[in-house]
Amino acid sequence: MKLREYEAKNVLREAGIPVPAGFLIRSADELTPHLGALGTAFVLKAQVDVGGRGKAGGILMAGKADGTKVAKELFGKLIKGLPVKEVLAEQKLDIQHEYYLSIMVDRSSKQPLILFTEAGGVEIEITAREHPELIKKVVANPLMKDLPPFMIRELIGKAPKEIGPVINRLYKIFIEKDALLAEINPLVTTPNGVFAADAKIIVDDNALGRQGITMNRDLSEREREAEKHGFSYVELDGAIGVIGNGAGLTMATLDLIEYYGGKAANFLDVGGGAESERVMNAVRLVASVPSVKVIVVNLLGGITKCDEVAKGIIAAGISQKVIVRLAGTNEAEGRKLLSEKGYEMLDTMDLVVKKAVQVTA
Amino acid sequence: MIYGDRKTGILVQGATGKQGEFHIGLMNAYAQQVGGRGVVAGVTPGKGGQQVHGVPVFNTVKDAMKEHDIGAAVIFVPAGAAADAIMEEANAGIRTIVCITEHIPVQDTMKAIAYARMEGASVIGPNCPGLLSPGEVKMGIMPAGLFSHGNVGVISRSGTLTYEVVDELTRAGIGQSTVVGIGGDPVIGQTFVDVLERFENDPQTKAVVLIGEVGGNLEEEGAKSTDLPIVSYIAGVSAPPDKRMGHAGAIVEGGEGDARSKIARLKKHGVPVASRVSEIPDMVRELFRCHC
């Protein structure tokens, strides 16, 4: 789950990384008591869970005189379709130089990878493409609690030495907060020292519990409902509902729908070993989306038993058409149950998907 | 075969749990069928002295190692204890560790894999179905009935999709040497590169089916690392764009890590990529026609 900017900055502040003085407000009126502390010019930043908010108009400059008016304007906006409910009012920094600092989980080395460049700021991806040599990379050993000084020296090169402690503190945050990504862009130098002007922290969904995060905001309401049942669920914008077991097989089913020219409405991965009640819940959840005209069930029984799946489909009793492909453990029993009730069954995933696409065409 | 054979004694960590017990039964049924040793010991702290399907349970891995010749371990413990299980096994001297457990925090996985590497152990997974060498050994949860003996290796990031591919291959009369599910997590022990290296040194394996997914570039790294003929399939072409990993993901992985660019990079490297799973058997036959 991605932390909002003000949450990420609180984490940084607690770890001793300087961040600009700032206040979170939930309405334009809440700005008034902070006007004195913010100085003559400050920044209002919409706290929305979406990337590229600056270019979408989510960051506005303001001053003591027009602050409340600008805040009202920002609270009235939609940023990439999302309403602005929280705004971070933040001191404007006197920026001398912008750096980029990031720590991520590196699939390739299986270790934390630290990136640093003196060419930071909004154009960082262009720098990465055109001048990759400007980005310094160091792989850390996850068994070490601190970065050894030589790694920090390698990273910062000729950049100011005061950046060194920031790198080590961000590394500790990365480890202790179960981050998949901890990024400061830009990390800026000012006459008053180094500051993290913006920050992004993504917490591992598998560690939300031990990080004391009770609700995953990145999920929609129906996705959270699905999560309670232990399903992975994603909503799309077509007419075919998809139920599979295992992420790979479910994804391959979706790809096949696209291959045959159809569009999926949603997909749900029931996971392994699903019993009839779980399957029933899965079918009902997928069918509860109004745009779903037909449901493809593609299950390969390993530890999942086909007769349990069949019972679940029948018990769901939904109005939409269900097209089933079942293979594996207890396949014959499952097929018998479904054919008695008149469900359409086909032998391969190609056939069920083709049929579903025809039905919705 | 790679990673183990009929003679490999297997230890199951989390032996007395529901999953552990169920799969000890299935692994040993397979061992009996092929004349292998199968699971020889189980470990559950505090349950030493019990038996599961006739397999003795020990409190620690070292206790089990004292009494049994063990070459590999399979982990079924809950997510919070799995990294510890990997490290315990590596420390006790087990060199092949298969971790079935899913939902392990990635920071734990990174530490456990770094530690296992120091001890010289290979970790398969986590969040994987394990491996199966038809006629030799099964370590994990793959449904053995779909497999057939032959000379095509399969490496996959997913579970059921692997079974689908194996099922297609078997129906088409194409047997498998070893099928390895390397796991779907961002950080896994054995990657495509590692397994391909084993296949290169395995005289039985003549071609490899590489089943990847959207995200990262481990598939491309694998394809570049080997001279073995490969057919690939990448799931996730229609997947909604992933929540992006900030700028760092794009900088490191080049582009967006999406399925289409991954497929383009594989094709550029001369690897045929199937658009549908059902195309894989014919493409494998084509490989053999080219290379025989």
**Tens-place pLDDT, residues A182-224:** 999 999 999 999 999 999 999 998 999 999 998 888 777 788 8
**Active site (catalytic) residues of B:** 247
* Nearest-CB residue to B107 (from A175, A258, A259): A175
- Give the whole-angstrom CA distance, residue A117 versus residue A187: 10
- Give the whole-angstrom CA distance, residue A185 versus residue A109: 23
- Give the whole-angstrom CA distance, residue B285 versus residue B231: 10
Specify the range with the lowest mean pLDDT, choosing from A119-123, A212-216, B165-169, B215-219: A119-123
Dihedral angle over CA of A171, A177, A181, A183, nearest 10: -60
B159 or A151, higher pLDDT: A151
Report the DSSP pairing between strands B137-140 and B149-156. unpaired
pLDDT of A274 reads: 79
| Contact status of A49 with chain B (Cβ, < 8 Å) | no
**What pLDDT digit, counting tens, does each position of B175-214 carry?**
999 999 999 898 999 999 999 999 999 999 999 999 998 8
Catalytic entry in A6, A99, A100, A171: A100
**What pLDDT digit, counting tens, does each position of A151-188 carry?**
999 999 999 999 999 999 999 999 999 999 999 999 99
Is residue B126 within 8 Å of B101, Cβ to Cβ?
Answer: yes
Residues 297-316 of A with CB under 8 A from B: 300-303
A294 vs A255, A263, A312, CA distance in Å? Answer: 17, 11, 17
**What pLDDT digit, counting tens, does each position of A61-100 carry?**
999 899 999 999 999 999 988 899 999 999 999 999 999 9
ipTM score: 0.90
Determine, for residues A142 and B114 on separate chains, whether the beta-carbon distance falls below 8 Å. Answer: yes
Is there a catalytic annotation at residue A183?
yes
Element (H, E) at A190: strand A179-190
Top residue of A249, A269, A270, A306 to mutate, by most chain B CBs within 10 Å, is A249
B250-254's contacts with Cβ under 8 Å and 24+ in sequence apart are: B250/A125, B250/A128, B251/A102, B251/A115, B251/A124, B251/A125, B251/A128, B251/A132, B251/A135, B252/A104, B252/A106, B252/A108, B252/A113, B252/A115, B252/A137, B253/A107, B253/B216, B253/B217, B254/B217
pLDDT of B257 reads: 65
A82 or B62, higher pLDDT: B62
What lies within 8 Å, CB to CB, of B39 at 6+ separation is B10, B11, B12, B24, B27, B28, B31, B55, B74
Q: Give domain limits for chain B.
A: 10-124, 142-291
B59 vs B16, B19, B139, CA distance in Å? Answer: 11, 18, 21
Determine, for residues B143 and A183 on separate chains, whether the beta-carbon distance falls below 8 Å. Answer: no
Q: What are phi and psi of A58, to 5 degrees?
A: -90, 0
Determine, for residues B114 and A111 on separate chains, whether the beta-carbon distance falls below 8 Å. Answer: yes
Is pLDDT of A20 > 80?
yes
**Residue bearing tokens 């599979």:** A244
Question: Can you read off the two tokens belonging to residue B121?
Answer: 């152990």
Radius of gyration for the alpha carbons in chain A, expressed in angstroms and rounded: 26
Going by pLDDT thresholds of 50, 70 and 90, the confidence category of residue B246 is low
pLDDT of B51 reads: 97
**Residue bearing tokens 């310094």:** A136
What's the rounded mean pLDDT across residues B215-223? 89
Is pLDDT of A8 > 50?
yes
Distance from CA of B33 to the nearest CA of A (A): 18
| Contact status of A329 with chain B (Cβ, < 8 Å) | yes
To the nearest whole percent, how much of chain B has pLDDT over 90?
83
- Give the whole-angstrom CA distance, residue A245 versus residue B240: 19
Is pLDDT of A312 > 60?
yes
Number of Cβ within 10 Å of residue B285's Cβ equals 15
pLDDT of B247 reads: 61
B192 vs A267, B58, B153, B198, CA distance in Å? Answer: 28, 34, 12, 10
- Residue B68 DSSP label: S
* Nearest-CB residue to A249 (from B161, B187, B245): B161
Element (H, E) at B198: helix B192-200
The CATH number given to B10-124 is 3.40.50.720
Distance from CA of B228 to the nearest CA of A (A): 21
Q: Render the burial of A317-351: b for 16+ CB within 10 Å, e for the rest.
A: ebeeebbbbbbbbbbebbbebbeeeebebbebbbe
Residues 169-228 of B with CB under 8 A from A: 184, 186-189, 211, 213-218, 221
Nearest residue to B186 via CA among A106, A118, A217: A106
Going by pLDDT thresholds of 50, 70 and 90, the confidence category of residue B289 is confident
Burial of A85 (0-12, 13-18, 19+ CB in 10 A): exposed
Name the amino acid, one letter, at A288.
S
Determine, for residues A204 and B106 on separate chains, whether the beta-carbon distance falls below 8 Å. Answer: yes
The CATH number given to A21-91 is 3.30.1490.20
Dihedral angle over CA of A148, A173, A6, A186, nearest 10: 20
- Rounded to 10°, the helix A247-259/A349-360 angle is 50
**What pLDDT digit, counting tens, does each position of B100-134 carry?**
999 999 999 999 999 999 999 999 999 999 999 99
**Residue bearing tokens 């599961």:** B52
pLDDT of B242 reads: 53
The CATH number given to A97-207 is 3.30.470.20
Rounded to two decimals, the pTM is 0.92
- Give the whole-angstrom CA distance, residue A51 versus residue A61: 19
Is pLDDT of A229 > 80?
yes
pLDDT of B290 reads: 64
A305 or A197, higher pLDDT: A197
Element (H, E) at A27: none
Strand-pair partners of A88: A24, A45
Catalytic entry in A5, A90, A183, A308: A183
Residues 222-261 of B with CB under 8 A from A: 233, 235-240, 243-253, 259
Going by pLDDT thresholds of 50, 70 and 90, the confidence category of residue B279 is very high
pLDDT of B244 reads: 45
The superfamily in CATH containing domain B142-291 is: Succinyl-CoA synthetase domains (3.40.50.261)
pLDDT of A300 reads: 87
**Across all residues in chain B, what is the average pLDDT?**
92
pLDDT of A121 reads: 78
Determine whether domain A221-360 maps to CATH 3.40.50.261.
Answer: yes
Q: Give domain limits for chain A.
A: 21-91, 97-207, 221-360
B126 vs B83, B188, B223, CA distance in Å? Answer: 9, 6, 22
